[in-house]
Structure 1
């Protein structure tokens, strides 16, 4: 029997190692090592030669490819090594001396497993070393890029005030212009000889029409859905959305046309040589200018002042719009020419010096004109008022006088003044020979202002869209003075608006930070390394703690909560009301959907954080051990606290009654809940009692409360009149809700009175005792003025004394009776 059992066990142990046979088809360890060493050596050589023979992008692509490959090999080798070690553990130790020797099959399997473990360990170590070397080379390349960038910025160019500099720059500029002009001619001749010139011309004619047909309906839909309507006094958030929609709609048609033309020409291989570079740069510059043109016109709104979103002088808004357009045209055209100059190799020192002087001077004049204080005021509301230039000057003078008296200036005005100062003095740096540094400071500051402005406008627009999405139903108002009965669903919606807005802010401003870093010259290699370090983190045991993973986990959890809320609202408002299920069943389905969604969101967040779900068994085991050692009450209160925080039957601020305690919930922890009584005493209640016992929560679903005021009137009173008096007192009170309406009930015949009861609702439980007292005063006064008496109970009390046993006179032994009335 043992003769067949050992081979069977060996076969079962060998099955997990079936994947080892696939290693024969993969490259050997020596081949991988030689390939990695060649890649690292070539990258080091390219760095040492300042990337003269190989481009930096090519080297970085090879290093990233090597890094990905080494990470894959290292992880796979570590996993297979653990698998081999577990198999060796299941085999047990080898027989010692004096014990029966193991069979040939097991001995061969053990030896093969040991060889595989050694190979996997060596492979993981070599891959880890190659990965570390690739990371070091990337850091060295990033440092080289930063040093090269700083040196180029600080490089002194020929001073443009010298005549020979202008002479050489004019000659080199003419050569550059001739090269740009000859590029389309050469391209046309090339394709005419190849016979596809007619095809290119057809593309240039047909695709703009296709773009117009595709973009025009989209433009109309955007304007109709989000654009400016007929409102005479729209809110500021509504104006933000309309400005973004109007700017995007007016720019989308030409941008779509440009993108279609360029994409079609590229896919068909019709863009070649310098013509391709010229088309790409010109298209990007034209699209950027059109988008900026559309957004600027929408924000200033020169013809629809009610929709203006920036505080500009109403009398000079058209001049400001022209100044902004000229500034954008100069900046975009100059940047496009500079890009062409760099990529065509025409950026000689003399040409750069004169070009930077002209460009910074043009931008300084136009941007200084745009940032002039004569165009900007401090209030958007004042910007919506008309007026002449003289009136605007008077308002600006008055505002300046008030600012001098207050000795304070708005932060926006200070930032605008500093920006204008830097932009205006930048040409003097170019005149001294530091044209690159001057253009860098000037363009980056203006680009920062534009990006931050666009980011803030986009944030406001997204916030408005989020509020419109969640608050798509009107809020009902009740009561004589507009008192509203708040509900828990409205508070939940406000919370979802906050969290959704927070996620939107992260999605807007994180890319904005990356764009600003790229704008200020941080090399892409450095940004890549920063991102890798952000997501690599530190390893503690088998868990890697990384800030990037934590951020992703938070975003995943928030997105899961938002999606859960959307699905629940869809079920509650659209699906479940159309079914035949009763209200309780519909509520249970909605609650179950919420719990399921939250659970899935938690699991996804844990997966994004990098937690191993197998470790949950350790947590459960430790919890069971703690319960076994007498921590049952602690664990019970802990679980109850978690249920309270998730299910939220009791919330901070609720008015509850549990047992003999009544008060307001001040704090909920995972072990106990603090209740503050109306005598300002703190009662600490274990969470398990709040779960296992009945709790009266006055503010669970909403803060509405019902007042029940019993009133007794004398027999013979007009009951209809009494009911009208009760209703009139309730209706005239400002804090009594009209929906549900107050009710006066004739509840029965008492011993000495006709018993009535006034029932009405108030919107806030905080006013419970105050409203009750005020209603008592009002009812007593109204009944007294109407001549309706409120009786008090009357009783006959008989005092009986028993006769004495001794002989007395007859009159001394009689018992007396009295009939006092109370």
Structure 2
């Protein structure tokens, strides 16, 4: 009965979903509207809005499909429970009063299963169709962009084109000049003129005062320090960013806040608002370019210069950059206003883009001229400020001419970075000069697009290189500037110091991760600049993170990245936990050192195991299938990796039974030394010659091991001594006992004893047996006792004999009775 109640409640919950027909009509209407917009080239809505609606529909259909799948599996399981597994049990009918309710419940389950199956199929079809429309819109945007870029405009040189362009430009200028007048009349009609003037005057003034308040502490904290004559490259870049922020970003932020306040108050409306926004953006770009350029060139503080420029022409280069930035900002603003006002007629656009590309090519070519650049930054910094550099240049003109001739002779053999940058600048100048030729041929849009994107690429690449160098230097300073405290802590915890190879590896991998992050962001910025639609980028990103299907498993780079992060984080947390236990918790317990090491190793293995399980879950592995795979591979692992598994099990037994622990003095076969580390596969023994011997754990379990410190660290010292015949044996025994009692490292309990062992062939043999409290003192006590015994025997007149042998030669008679001596 309880089962029937639960099934009825499940059906009630499942019936809360909207009707299938209503949901199907909504989804079909959305798809049909998107298809119509795509077929008619989006007459009423933008592609971005349609794309957002389709993505919302795709997410909704995916959620509905998964929900229907879950409900379908649940109800199919219920239906299987209601039907008997054995056909013979069908004759055992339930009582009459429950038969009708059971039949009704089965019918409701079958109807619900059919509805959820239909809902699942509908959601799957809708999800697929929405994804296909998203791809179609992305392809439409790409095709539209290519068509627009490759469309041939009217040639800019014919007189008729000039006349039509001049007429359009006059009307365009008149509309722009009329916009402020119309705006002012509207403000006066609404009695908002005084408020608008107050905002236009007071907000910039307040912003200027506020920026001045922030400017001084920022420059003092991060700006240039004149007392530092040789700042690092990272410090110079930080100072350049601070100076550029003060000179460029603060004014930009001030203008932006003013415009935001005017917009929120409703004081910027109509075409005048668009004009103000465009001019503000163009001004911001110009200020940022010029402010950062001035900060990078640093004409007066040469020690803080970050680009290799000719010190005698810094002011001229800044003037060229200022003019080039002004030309680019003005052309971009005018072109944007042409699009916003609808005056981008073919004739006006062709002539304007032709002049814009010519002016940009001239000004940027001026700034990229080889006369303003040198090969190395040190050469630029060592010349001093511009006036001093000019004086030095005049004094060394002849010498420079000779050096220039020599450099020209060897120009083809130069391979340095300055040579490469020089060739890149020349190639860039030639490429920029091609744009006016394209515009002259009628491909004005392609010419302007290629030229502007090339300049933006240059700026982004330069920014990326400087950021890469700065981050690399910061990483090196971070790892190399903390040796004293860190090394002190490592010595206190008996950790080995980091060697140069480890430091270089850490610097490399940290820098690689930083470069990947920076490169990804800059790559996306470049793709957007080169006209790749955001929707296409979104599809590409989604495709990258969606992954590929391998059977029932989906290998997604996103999941792989998450799994790597989870595994790295788990290993780091495990390492931190082990260090915390080793340094702060276990030393305060009464556990001995070896047991503490076993507890820490156990926590480490547990943490690694949990991290691996969570990582497999992040990858989306099904543990049921994983168990089947592990079971299928167990036989192969048993044969192929038998030794590895055997050593692993032996390592676990060593940590549990602890017949050998870290710090023990053991003898395994021919190897004797102290146990330094026990891992899952092998045990490291350090011999008394400081040699490391790696012994497989299986050998420690299967073979005999002599452990001198298994129960305690006491060790017995046996010294064999021989004395000459005729010596007083009682005196010999007393002298040996006195030597043992006077030795500080010898334990008095158990008492030292002297044993008379044998009558040798040439001596009487004794043994002195005593104990030391710590095996670490064994060799020292052993040696000291030998010294003491030798001194005591010498003082007592006891002789230590050496083996003697008497040889008797007999001379037998020779034949004939002759005898010889």
TM score, norm. by length of structure 1 = 0.71
- Structure 2 equivalent of residue 40 of structure 1: 31
User: Residue in 2 aligned with 1:514?
Assistant: 524
Report Cα offsets for 1:195-226 as digits up to 9, x if no partner: 33433333334433554455445544443443
Aligned to 1:150: 146
Instruction: Indicate whether 1:9 and 2:46 are aligned.
Output: no
Match in the other structure for 1:185:
181
The 3 A distance-change label for structure 1 pair 507 and 747 is same
Q: Check whether the contact 2:544–2:556 (CA below 8 A) recurs between aligned residues.
A: yes
* 2:91 matched residue in structure 1: 99
CA distance in 2, matches of 1:304, 1:502: 33
Q: In structure 2, which of residues 315, 323, 326 is the aligned counterpart of residue 326 of structure 1?
A: 323
* Structure 1 match to 2:723: none
| 1:611–1:142 Cα change, 3 Å | same
Tell me if structure 2 keeps the 8 A contact 1:496–1:562.
Answer: no
Give secondary structure in 2 for the equivalent of 1:377: coil
Match of 2:426 among 417, 429, 436: 417
Determine if contact 1:309/1:380 at 8 Å carries over to the other structure.
Answer: yes
Could you tell me whether the CA contact under 8 Å between 2:14 and 2:71 is conserved in 1? Answer: no
| Per-residue Cα deviation, 1:383-426 (whole angstroms, up to 9, x for no partner) | 11223355586388247425435265733222221111011232
CA distance, structure 2, for counterparts of residue 148 and residue 639 of structure 1: 66
Q: Which moved more, 1:368-377 or 1:80-89?
A: 80-89
**C-alpha separation between the residues in 1 aligned to 2:46 and 2:415?**
53
Partner in structure 2 of residue 276 of structure 1: 273
Inter-CA distance 627–349: structure 2 relative to 1 (3 Å threshold) = closer
Report deviation, 1:796.
Answer: 2.5
Match of residue 349 from structure 1: 346
Q: 2:528 aligned with 1:537, yes or no?
A: no
Compared CA separation, residues 418 and 514, structure 1 to 2 (3 A)? same
Residues 640-685 of structure 1: CA distance to partner in whole angstroms, max 9, x if unpaired? 99999xxxxxxxxxxx99864699xxxx9997799999x9x99985
The residue aligned with 1:116 is 112
CA distance in 2, matches of 1:199, 1:507: 46
Q: Which moved more, 1:375-384 or 1:555-564?
A: 555-564
Distance verdict in 2 for CA 1:82–1:170, change over 3 Å: same
What SS does the aligned partner of 1:311 have?
coil
Rounded to whole Å, the distance in 1 between the matches of 2:85 and 2:645 is 46
Once residues 174 and 226 of structure 1 are traced to their aligned partners in structure 2, the CA distance between those partners, rounded to angstroms, is 49
Is the CA contact (8 Å cut-off) linking 1:215 and 1:252 kept in structure 2? no
Q: Deviations over 1:245-295 (max 9, x none)?
A: 332343332122123223223333333222232232222222222222222
Larger Rg: 2
- Please tell me whether the aligned partners of residues 244 and 458 of structure 1 are also in contact (alpha carbons under 8 angstroms): no
Choose 352-361 or 332-341, whichever is displaced more. 332-341
Residues 37 and 43, structure 2, Cα contact 8 Å, conserved in 1:
yes
- CA distances 1:344-369 after superposition (whole Å, capped 9, x unpaired): 21100111111111110111001111
> Hey, what does 1:784 align to over in structure 2?
none
What SS is found at the alignment partner of 1:750? Answer: helix
Structure 2 residue 363 is the aligned partner of structure 1 residue 371: no
| CA offsets 1:553-594 (integer angstroms, 9 cap, x no match) | 44565577789999999x89xx979x9999999999999999
Aligned position for 1:19 = 13
Alignment partner of 2:558 out of 530, 545, 548: 548
What CA distance in whole angstroms lies between the structure 1 residues aligned with 2:476 and 2:569? 16
Query: 2:443 maps to what in 1?
Result: 434
Q: 2 CA distance for matches of 1:214 and 1:32?
A: 56
Assess if the C-alpha contact under 8 Å between 2:563 and 2:615 holds in 1. yes
Instruction: Verify the 8 A CA contact 2:233 2:473 in the aligned structure 1.
Output: no
CA shift in 2, pair 1:499/1:798, >3 Å: closer
For 1:557-596, what aligned pairs fall within 5 Å after superposition? none
Please give the per-residue CA displacement for 1:21-70, whole angstroms capped at 9, x wherever unaligned. 422xxx32212211121122122222221223332222222222212221
8 Å CA contact retained: 1:219, 1:250: no
Q: 1:107 to 1:159 in 2, by over 3 A?
A: same
- Give per-residue Cα distances to partners, 1:607-662, cap 9 Å, x unaligned: 65444577676678779999999988654546899999xxxxxxxxxxx9986469
Number of residue pairs matched by the alignment? 683
Taking the aligned partners of 2:21 and 2:618, their CA distance within structure 1 comes to 35
Matched, 1:241 2:268: no
What is the CA–CA distance in structure 1 between the aligned matches of 2:257 and 2:649, rounded to whole Å? Answer: 59
In structure 2, the CA distance between the partners of 1:694 and 1:500, relative to structure 1 (3 Å rule), is farther
Question: CA separation in 1, counterparts of 2:406 and 2:577?
Answer: 52
1:261 equivalent to 2:258? Answer: yes
Residue 797 (structure 1) aligns with: 802
The change in CA–CA distance for 1:802 and 1:640 in structure 2 (over 3 A counts) is closer
Aligned to 1:397: 404
**In the TM superposition, what is the alpha-carbon distance from 1:448 to its structure 2 partner?**
0.8
Alpha-carbon separation, structure 2, partners of 1:343 and 1:491: 59
2:299 is aligned to 302
Q: Deviations over 1:416-473 (max 9, x none)?
A: 2111101123212212222111111111111111111111222233334444555553
Aligned to 1:750: 787
Q: CA deviation at 1:119?
A: 1.9
C-alpha distance in 2 between matches for 1:321 and 1:794: 98
Distance (Å, rounded) in 2 between the aligned partners of 1:461 and 1:691: 54
- Preserved contact between residue 215 and residue 256 of structure 1 (Cα < 8 Å): no
Query: For residues 244 and 586 of structure 1, what CA distance do their matches in structure 2 show?
Result: 51
Q: Is the 8 A contact 1:244 1:461 kept in 2?
A: no
Counterpart in 1 of 2:413? 406
- 1:70 alignment partner, one of 37, 40, 61: 61
Whole-Å separation in 2 of the counterparts to 1:541 and 1:182: 67
What does residue range 119-130 of structure 1 map to in structure 2 within 5 Å? 119-130=115-126
**What is the RMSD computed on CA atoms of the aligned residues?**
4.9
How far, CA to CA, are the matches of 2:313 and 2:577 in structure 1?
A: 50
Instruction: Give distance in 1, aligned partners of 2:439 and 2:653.
Output: 67
User: CA–CA distance in 1 between the matches of 2:504 and 2:37?
Assistant: 57
The residue number in structure 2 matching 1:315 is 312
Q: Does the CA contact (< 8 Å) of 1:154 and 1:437 recur in 2?
A: yes
Q: Aligned pair in 2 of structure 1 residues 609, 149: CA closer, same or farther (>3 Å)?
A: same
Secondary structure of the corresponding residue to residue 22 of structure 1: coil
Question: Alignment partner for residue 79 of structure 2, among 88, 97, 104?
Answer: 88
Residue number in structure 2 paired with 1:502: 512
Aligned partner of residue 371 in structure 2, secondary structure: coil
Aligned CA distance change for structure 1 residues 177 and 491 (closer, same or farther; 3 Å): same
Distance of aligned partners of 1:87 and 1:159 in 2 relative to their CA distance in 1, 3 Å threshold: same
Q: Hey, what does 2:21 align to over in structure 1?
A: 30
Structure 1 residues 669 and 580: alpha-carbon distance in aligned structure 2, compared to 1, 3 A threshold: closer
What secondary structure is seen at the aligned counterpart in 1 of 2:372?
coil
CA contact (8 A) 2:234 2:469 kept: yes
SS at match of 1:384: helix
Moved more, 521-530 or 497-506: 497-506
Q: Secondary structure at the match of 2:16?
A: helix
